[in-house]
Amino acid sequence: MEIQSQTESSKNDVSPSFFDKIVRLIDIKTILFILLALHLLVIQNPAKSLVFDEAYYVPAARDILNGVSSNPEHPFLGKAWISLGIVTFGDNWFGWRIVPVSFSLLSLIVFYFISKKFLSEKLATYSTALLGFENIFFIHGSLALLEIPSIFFAFLSFWLLYERGNRKFLRIPLFYWLSALTMGMSFLSKETAAFYIISIMFFYISRVKYTKYQEIIPKLVKGIVILLFIGMVYFIPVTIYDIYYKPSSSVQVLETHTIINLSDENGVITGTTTLTNTTTIRSIINNGLDHLVYTVSYASGLRITNTSKDINSGNYAWNWILPIPSYPPSPYYIENAEVKHTITENDKVISVTTDTKHPIAWYGIGNLPIWWSIWFIVPFSIFNIIKKKAKDIDYFLLIFTVGTYLPMLYISGIGSRIVYPFYFVQTVPILAIGIPHVINSLIKNKILRDIILYLFLIITLTFFILYFPLRINEL
- The DSSP string of 58-111 is HHHHHHHHTT----TTS-SHHHHHHHHHHHHH-SSHHHHHHHHHHHHHHHHHHH
Q: Rounded to the nearest 5°, which phi and psi values hold at 235?
A: -70, -35
3-state secondary structure of 220: helix
pLDDT above 60: residue 310: no
Q: What distance in Å separates the CA atoms of residue 200 and residue 182, rounded to the nearest whole number?
A: 12
User: Considering the domain boundaries, does residue 153 fall inside one?
Assistant: yes
pLDDT above 80: residue 461: yes
Over residues 116-152, the pLDDT tens digits come to 999 999 999 999 999 999 999 999 999 999 999 999 9
Q: What distance in Å separates the CA atoms of residue 445 and residue 398, rounded to the nearest whole number?
A: 26
Nearest in space to 164 (alpha carbons), one of 226, 212, 218, 228: 226
User: Considering the domain boundaries, does residue 345 fall inside one?
Assistant: no
What predicted TM-score, i.e. pTM, was given to this entire model? 0.85
pLDDT above 90: residue 296: no
Domain interval for residue 103: 18-247+358-474
Give the pLDDT mean for 16-38.
Answer: 77
Confidence of residue 10 (pLDDT cuts 50, 70, 90): very low
Name residues whose C-beta falls within 8 Å of residue 160's C-beta, 6 or more positions apart in sequence: 175, 176, 178, 179, 182
Of the listed ranges 74-88, 310-324, 362-376, 405-419, the least confidently predicted one is 310-324
Convert 426-441 to b/e letters by CB count within 10 Å (16 or more is b): bbbbbbbbbbbbbbbb
Q: Is the dihedral of CA 156, 159, 161, 165 positive or negative?
A: negative
Q: What angle do CA 49, 54, 60 make, to 5 degrees?
A: 115
Give the pLDDT mean for 209-228.
Answer: 72
User: Considering the domain boundaries, does residue 329 fall inside one?
Assistant: no
Identity of residue 465: I
User: Considering the domain boundaries, does residue 304 fall inside one?
Assistant: no
User: Considering the domain boundaries, does residue 343 fall inside one?
Assistant: no
Name residues whose C-beta falls within 8 Å of residue 350's C-beta, 6 or more positions apart in sequence: 343, 344
Q: What angle do CA 137, 139, 140 make, to 5 degrees?
A: 70
Q: What angle do CA 73, 80, 334 make, to 5 degrees?
A: 75
Cis peptide leading into residue 16 (ω within 30°): no
Confidence of residue 13 (pLDDT cuts 50, 70, 90): very low
Rounded mean pLDDT of the chain? 83
Please tell me the total number of residues recorded for the chain in this structure: 475
When divided into structural domains, the chain yields a total of 1
The pLDDT of residue 254 is: 54
Name residues whose C-beta falls within 8 Å of residue 426's C-beta, 6 or more positions apart in sequence: 147, 151, 192, 195, 196, 404
User: Considering the domain boundaries, does residue 97 fall inside one?
Assistant: yes
Q: What distance in Å separates the CA atoms of residue 172 and residue 22, rounded to the nearest whole number?
A: 43
Q: What distance in Å separates the CA atoms of residue 41 and residue 363, rounded to the nearest whole number?
A: 16
Over residues 262-293, the pLDDT tens digits come to 666 666 666 666 666 655 556 788 888 888 88
Of the listed ranges 42-46, 234-238, 273-277, the least confidently predicted one is 273-277
User: Considering the domain boundaries, does residue 311 fall inside one?
Assistant: no
Q: Which residues pair with 361 in a beta bridge?
A: 334
Name residues whose C-beta falls within 8 Å of residue 414's C-beta, 6 or more positions apart in sequence: none
The pLDDT of residue 164 is: 67
Q: What distance in Å separates the CA atoms of residue 415 and residue 427, rounded to the nearest whole number?
A: 20
User: Considering the domain boundaries, does residue 391 fall inside one?
Assistant: yes
3-state secondary structure of 281: strand
